[in-house]
Structure formats: structure tokens, C-alpha cells
Structure 1
Amino acid sequence: MNLKYELRNGWKVINEMNNIDAVMKYSDEYMDFLNKGKTERKCVKEIEKMAIEKGFKSILDIEKVSPGDKIYAINKDKNIALFIIGKQDIEKGLRIIGSHIDSPRLDLKPNPLYEDDNMGYFKTHYYGGIKKYQWVTIPLAMYGVVILRDGSKVEINIGDEENDPVFCVTDLLPHLAAKQRQKTLEKGIEGEDLNLLIGSIPDEDQEKDKVKMNILNLLNSKYNLVEEDFISAEIEIVPAGKAKNLGFDSSMILSYGHDDRVCSFAGVKAILETENPEYTASILCADKEETGSNGNTGMHSRFYENTVAELINMQTDYSDLKIRRAFSNSKVLSADVNAGYDPNYSSVYEKNNSCHIGYGVCISKYTGARGKSGTSDANAEFVGEIRSIFNEANVVWQSGELGKVDEGGGGTIAYILANYDAQVLDCGVGVLSMHAPYEIISKADIFEMYRGYKAFLNK
């Protein structure tokens, strides 16, 4: 018997199990999902499409549920939850994979368009925890919806097609940056400096704001949009370009949006390949995690609870007690990413308790900051149960924290579901350059995560 806890290299196990082709196929599917799902709205559309192809039906079209039924529910085009009804009553508890599909980005302000020195700009407001200096001088795409003055909705998707223009935030040339270089990284680029350059051709028929008016004319001709319509718009600015294989061996993926679409996709794939589970299986893809999970599409909303209540009502006589029991009896993997150990910045990690790239899916007993603030802290019994499930399925797993105790930290949606008295454990993959415009993950890790989620839902 080996008395020591030792990490297993994911690629070594994958080779031993002859799973290389499966890993690469899964990674290609995931990269395609990333390319199509640049925003939470786009992700919801893609997941809905995947679910329908596998026989899932909208909860709006269901009156009664039976074991094996496959159902999905959408909340305001920004959340989606999938369910497969189990053999046991929902009151007995669900097996839930809870993830989020929003990612750090730049949003347009409600009154964004202005002109300065014959150049047109959009004012932006950054969303989530970003390093602002990382968002300058890179090609950016524009996605979103606008509700026009007549109440109609138009979609904007610019920057990722072959012949599309892109946009960018400018930076100061090094020849004139002596004062800028003296600032901290946090202050080198200020939030109000993240102004998106969008055009420079003037409309000579106008007396003033010639570039601004030319841009408005272009937007009006293509989208029937007037300037006031920006007030009722949700337009997100994200890195342009597709996900790319990283490394001579193509062992990693460089892309925008790994946090947290990497876990969402794994959960979706796992439930799409689940049939007739003992307990009702579910994957939840929430919004607003990067800003605290608030709002009517964040995890603090009642969307998921209300959906489970509807399913209970379709299964049996409804009572408030039954939904309370359902959540209290539930077991949850909070599917979010962890900080991958980076040798370039080793001083902020405690190596023995870090998530290592290429060593499988990572379970985290707690996240939070410093004195475990903002964490649900899973109990030993549930950690042991997940560990046993993974070992039985020969899933490559590891344990990790988010950096050294006093260096900072971060949270997930785990504590919100734990507040319902559910058993919850954080479980995801390590990411390098987290919250940067382009993040890095290991293909070995994401494949083991998908296998782990599938084992959990089917246990």
C-alpha cells in the first residue's frame, strides 16, 4: 500500500487508457463551443441547440414529468438549466453541476458614442475583475442586443468573421510614457481610459460631430439604430479571434472565456451523455458570477429554485416542504476554475496545495479569501464521497487552493447553493493567466473534468 498522496500526470494516464483521440475530439468540440459562445447569450443558444439535438424539451412544453425525461429551462436568454428526471422523486435530492457562463469583458456605457479630434469612440465600463492594461492594443469584437425605439430587437455581431472590422483601445507610445511607467500596473491604464476606437471617416454634410454622425448613419442603415437606442442595449466587447491550440504538442488551449465556459461545457457534455440516472441530474449555467452573482440572472436569483419547484409540481403534489427537502438532499459540484500553478509567479502559490496544469480535475474543499471568508467549506464526508466516485471511475484528480493564504483569493457560486443546505464541493480545472483576455488550460485536465462530472451524475 502506498501511504503517500501523489499527483498523477493526466497525459500519462490518458496514454495508458488509449484516450488520446478522445481527448483531442473533446477539445475540438470545446473550442468550437468557445468560438460560438463569446457571450452568455450566445452560450445559452448553443447549449439549447445541443440539448434539443439530444432530445431535451423546453419546460414550457411539459405538463408532467417521469423518470428519464429530459428538460431544459432558460432564464432571460442568459441562464440555462438542463435536467434528466431520476428514478427517485426530486424530493430525494438532485445531482447538480453548477457553473457560470459570463466572463470578464468590457461593456458599453448607456450613452457611449462620442467624437474627439476627428475620431469616433465608445465609452466602456469593465465587467468583472480584469487587469485593465491587458485590454489595450488587442483586436476586439462587439456582440450584443439592442432594443430599438419601436420595441424590436436587433443583434450585433462584429469582429469574428473573416471580413469583419475589429476595434481596439489605444495605448501610449513608449517614447512619451515616462510618467505612465512610474505608475502602478493598476493605475497605468484607468477605467475611463478604456475607450474603444471605432472610426475616423467624417460625414462632410454635417456641421459638427462629423465622424460621430457618419458612424450613426452606418449603424442606422444596417440596424435601424438611433443614438437613444444605446440606452436599451447590452453590448459586450470581447477579444476577437478563435480559440487556438497552444504548444508544439497542441496540449493546451489559448482562448478567451475559459473562466467559466470550460466547466459549463464539461457539465453540458456530461449530462447529454447521461441516461436514466438514479437521482435527477442537472447542469446549471448561471450569469453574473464575475460581479457577485446578483441580479435576476445571477445565482442569487430564484430562477433555479423556481424551476425545480415547477418540476416537483409536475411530478407530484407540490408543497414548500418538498422543495426544501429537494435542495437539502442535493449534492453539488460547484464547477468553476482554479488558479493553475505558474512557475513564473511561484511566490504567490503554496506548491503542495496548488492546482497543477496537466494533473487532472481539481477539487477544492474551500475557496474564499484569507480566513476562509466567502466560502462554503465542504465537509469531510462529501469530499470523501467525491474522491471515491472519481477513484472508482479512474478519473485523474488533484486537490488545490487558490494561492497562498494571505495573497488574496476568490469565490464561486458554491456558498449560494450551500445556503440551501445542499452538499457542495468546488470542482474544476486549473487556468493560467486567469481573467486575462486570453487564458490557458490543459486538454488533459478538461477531459478528466468531463469524465469526473459524468461519473458524478451517474453514480
Structure 2
Amino acid sequence: MEHETAWKKYDEADLEALEQLSAEYIDFISENKTERECATTAVRLAEEHGYVALDSAVREGRALKPGDKVWALSHGKALILAHLGSAPLAEGLNILGAHIDSPRLDIKQNPLAEANGLAHLDTHYYGGIKNYQWVTLPLALHGVIAKTDGTVIDVQVGDDPNDPVFCVTDLLIHLASQQMGKKASEAVEGEALDILVGNRPLVIEGEEFGDDEGEEPFAKLAEKEPVKAFALKLLAEKYGIEEEDFLSAEIEAVPAGRARDLGFDRSMVIGYGQDDRVCAYTSLAAQLALNETPAKTAVCVLVDKEEIGSVGATGMASQFFENTVAEIMELAGEGGPLSLRRALAASSMLSSDVSAGFDPAYASVFEAKNSAYLGRGLVFNKYTGSRGKSGSNDASAEYVARIRRIMGDAGVSFQTAELGKVDVGGGGTIAYIPAKYGMEVIDSGVAVLSMHAPWEVTSKADIYEAYKGYEAFLKNA
């Protein structure tokens, strides 16, 4: 069965709403390129919509009642929003879950080095990338540096038009015959993804720099590594940091520049980090759009570390989600381990993550009848995994039927898909993790072209339908 493009059903009001949502989405992914930035902005937006900090309510022993809105943050990188419904929590929650981390290059803890008059920052790539896609690309640096005195310094260089940018260099084609004969996975090695950050040496004696007292701490280093010394001097002046402070820094190299409209018709968005911020933003927007008290408590979960297995204190596999629900239930007068288990088992969830959009340039790896197509609406994956559905949550037929009814009643365009041909590849999401509680979970999201590339492509129609579908789910599941 073939689903028709969503574009054909829109009237002027729909198109206006679609463009407004897309513009806000473009701003969000352009201004928030790390999980920390996404979480910080999401908290700010939540507070503007009446959400209050859960930890404050816990400290005050404040009772929660239907209609109350709370947020909880884990280590600045994972966020949970809850809008309490009129039904008891033990009857279940309606949950949207997405991740806000994306593939990137992480700066190592001892990164700065000089060789042959060039200064570089060493990196360790994060998530599944094609190394060769990250060379000769303008990069920005986003993150934090934590100093031993307790201060945390925000770093963001490369996205302001007045900022410099950085890059990983590549070998010129004239000398690349050996490189070109390698497999794509070997043409650029991970250890070669070093970021070029400087070429200018620090001159200690001379007309230009000789009288600058600020050079004195770098004089000895400048004798052997003058370019590195000048880079450190600039960092000290701008951020007040020393080389040792890289030990306690989290700095990410990401593509520089804003997301933009794509195509003559401006029907698509090209931008960094759309896996999975296209689902995270539409989930957040749907959660914040609930003005009235929902029947069941509505929850939006935005987590970190999905790209490396959902591990760590901020990943979905941590206890953050379970602990937060337990705190909410305690303040709502429904505390207790058994009540918590009943609430989680009775819950319904959309694990919101992107799907592989059918690309005619690479049609051989897709199975056309069971692929996601740009412009045809929200995508549901009954199962993901690889080959024999390995590592997958497989939603029940009854739950799929319920989701179909909700989407149909709300007039949401949707489609179903798998991730490529059987035995070709595969992938996973966070769906299998909350499913361990016994709740109903299905993968849903937006079709993406060039997934995991520095710049990914989505359709504005799919972004709009995802938002409508997530809102309908929160209200009616």
C-alpha cells in the first residue's frame, strides 16, 4: 500500500502553520548543537509555559495535583517534562521519548599539539560517522570547561559570523592515489580527524609582542612550540583557562553554520543534528502545546547518549526516568514501589527517533514497499534492529492498531517502514529500554536523508505531521 504525500492536503492555514513551525525548528537546531544546549533551551521554554523545577517541589514537600507541570534535569544533559493529568498516575502515562545527542567530534582531554608550524586539537569521534565526511568542513566548537575552582565556562566559537572556524584537512587529489584505492572506511582514519586551529607563532622578542607582559607565562613554551603557545595565550585571554583545564572540559566539534531551507520550493530543511533533534523538538513542542489538563499525565523525555548505546547517567538506560516518575508519584500522593511499577506497566510510549528516508540514488539498499518517504508524514517502525530484528522492540499488533486509530482520528498523515532491506544493515533506538517495564512502545519519527552525515535533510511536511501526531498521542493515547 502506498501513502500519498501530505503536501496535497494542506490549505493556506496549514501551510502557514507548517512554515511557522519549521522556522522555529530551524532556529532551535541552529542555536542548540549540543545536548547541553538543547536541555538548557528546553528548560527555558518549559518555564515560559508554566513548568517548575521538580527538585524545588521535592525540597518544599509541595503536593502535586492535576494540571501541575514540572521539569527535571540530569547533569545538564537529559530532561523530563511532566504535565499531570486528571487520571491517577497508576493508570499510566503517555510518554514521548527522543534523544538530543548527535554524532560529532569530541575534543580529547589532552588535545593541543603543534607539528611543522600548525596547531591541532586531537579528537575522538562520537557515534556512527563516515570519517571522510568530516574533512574540509567548517567546524565550530561548542561545550564547557570546568575549572578546579568550581567555575564552568561556556565555549562557543565558530557560529557567530564574526568568529573564526576550524577544520580537518584532507590530502590533495594529486598525491592521493594510495588513499583513493582504500575502502571508504579506511580512507580517513579516526586518529587523523585532528582539527586545525592555528598557524601563527607567538613572538616573544620583537616589535609586535615584546612589551606584552601577558606573554611571559608562555615564553618557555614558545621556544619549542610557538604556534601552540600563541593559541594558549588567546585561550587564556578569552576564557581565562590553562592547558590543564582541557582535562575537565567537554567540547564538541560540530558543523558551523545555520540550518536552512532546501530546494527551489523551500520544502525541506538541511541542517546538523536532525537525528534526533527533529523528533526532540517536535516532541517538546507538542508537550508545551498542552494548555488544558490532559486525561493521562503527559511526559516528554529528552535523553543523552543514544548514539553510543544509551549508557551513562544521562542515557535512557540510567535510573533517571524511573526515579523522576517515582518522585512525581510521591508528591501526587501515589508513592510506593508497587504503584510505580503499575504506572510504568500501564503507560504508552512513542520512542521518537528518525527513520531512513528512501533515497533513489541508493535504491538498492531499500525495500520500496516498506520504506519511509519524505513528505508522506510521521513514520512508525513496528520494529527496528538488524537482520533477525536483533536488539529490537517489536510493538504489538494491538498497540499498532491503537496508534492507527489515534492518527486517523486526528487527521495525521503517517506511514510505516523498516530500516532498509533485510540483511543489509539495521539500527536501534531507546524503545527496548522502557519496554522492559511492560509498557507499550513503538518507534516513530521523521524520515531523514543522509542520516548521520554532518548535514542531514528532512521534509517540512514530515516535521509538521510529527508535531501533530505527537500532540494527538499525548491527548488521546
CA deviation digits over 1:405-431, x for unaligned, max 9? 111100000000101111000010100
Which residue of 1 is the match for residue 199 of structure 2? 200
Is 1:426 the counterpart of 2:421? The answer is no
Displacement, 1:121?
0.3
Do 2:92 and 2:297's aligned partners in 1 also have CA atoms closer than 8 Å?
A: yes
- Return the letter of the residue paired with 2:337: D
Quote the Cα distance in structure 2 between the aligned partners of 1:451 and 1:186. Answer: 39
Which residue of 1 is the match for residue 82 of structure 2? 83
Q: Which runs of 5 or more structure 1 residues have no equivalent in the other structure?
A: none
Which of these residues, 341, 359, 367, is aligned with residue 350 of structure 1?
A: 367
Quote the Cα distance in structure 2 between the aligned partners of 1:260 and 1:14. Answer: 26
Quote the Cα distance in structure 2 between the aligned partners of 1:196 and 1:288. Answer: 23
Q: Number of aligned pairs?
A: 454
Quote the Cα distance in structure 1 between the aligned partners of 2:340 and 2:56. Answer: 22
Do 1:23 and 1:444's aligned partners in 2 also have CA atoms closer than 8 Å?
A: yes
Which residue of 2 is the match for residue 264 of structure 1? 280
Displacement, 1:172?
0.3
Displacement, 1:367?
0.4
- Return the letter of the residue paired with 1:75: S
Is 1:13 the counterpart of 2:32? The answer is no
Query: 3-state SS of the aligned residue for 2:329?
Result: helix
TM-score (normalised: structure 2):
0.94
CA deviation digits over 1:267-316, x for unaligned, max 9? 11111111211110011000000000000001111011100000010011
TM-score (normalised: structure 1):
0.98
Which residue of 2 is the match for residue 47 of structure 1? 42
Q: More deviation in 52-61 or 431-440?
A: 52-61
- Return the letter of the residue paired with 1:382: Y
Displacement, 1:18?
4.1
- Return the letter of the residue paired with 2:248: S
Query: 3-state SS of the aligned residue for 1:334?
Result: strand
Quote the Cα distance in structure 2 between the aligned partners of 1:456 and 1:207. Answer: 64
Q: More deviation in 312-321 or 114-123?
A: 312-321
Query: 3-state SS of the aligned residue for 1:419?
Result: helix
Which residue of 2 is the match for residue 374 of structure 1? 391
Displacement, 1:149?
3.1
Quote the Cα distance in structure 2 between the aligned partners of 1:20 and 1:64. Answer: 42
Instruction: Show the 5 A alignment for 1:66-215.
Output: 66-205=65-204, 206-215=222-231
Quote the Cα distance in structure 1 between the aligned partners of 2:440 and 2:423. Answer: 27
Which residue of 1 is the match for residue 320 of structure 2? 303
Quote the Cα distance in structure 2 between the aligned partners of 1:428 and 1:318. Answer: 33
Quote the Cα distance in structure 2 between the aligned partners of 1:314 and 1:9. Answer: 46
Moved over 2 A (4+): none
Do 1:14 and 1:444's aligned partners in 2 also have CA atoms closer than 8 Å?
A: no
Identity %: 50
Which of these residues, 349, 374, 377, is aligned with residue 332 of structure 1?
A: 349
Is 1:365 the counterpart of 2:355? The answer is no
Which residue of 2 is the match for residue 221 of structure 1? 237
Displacement, 1:163?
0.3
Is 1:387 the counterpart of 2:387? The answer is no
Displacement, 1:162?
1.3
Which of these residues, 27, 30, 37, is aligned with residue 22 of structure 2?
A: 27
Q: More deviation in 156-165 or 200-209?
A: 200-209
Query: 3-state SS of the aligned residue for 1:74?
Result: strand
Displacement, 1:150?
2.2
Displacement, 1:317?
4.6
Quote the Cα distance in structure 2 between the aligned partners of 1:103 and 1:149. Answer: 28
Displacement, 1:89?
1.3
Quote the Cα distance in structure 1 between the aligned partners of 2:341 and 2:335. Answer: 11
CA deviation digits over 1:375-394, x for unaligned, max 9? 01000000000010000001
Quote the Cα distance in structure 2 between the aligned partners of 1:218 and 1:302. Answer: 41
Distance 1:317 1:441, change over 3 A: closer
Query: 3-state SS of the aligned residue for 2:361?
Result: helix
Quote the Cα distance in structure 2 between the aligned partners of 1:311 and 1:264. Answer: 22
Displacement, 1:184?
0.5
- Return the letter of the residue paired with 1:273: A
CA deviation digits over 1:136-155, x for unaligned, max 9? 00100001101113221111
Which residue of 1 is the match for residue 52 of structure 2? 57
Quote the Cα distance in structure 1 between the aligned partners of 2:116 and 2:300. Answer: 50
Task: Give the CA RMSD over aligned residues.
Answer: 0.9
Query: 3-state SS of the aligned residue for 2:452?
Result: coil
- Return the letter of the residue paired with 2:244: E
Query: 3-state SS of the aligned residue for 1:414?
Result: coil
Displacement, 1:9?
1.0
- Return the letter of the residue paired with 1:47: A
- Return the letter of the residue paired with 2:89: I
Displacement, 1:11?
0.3
Which residue of 2 is the match for residue 253 of structure 1? 269
Displacement, 1:336?
0.2
Which residue of 2 is the match for residue 449 of structure 1? 466
Quote the Cα distance in structure 2 between the aligned partners of 1:268 and 1:436. Answer: 24
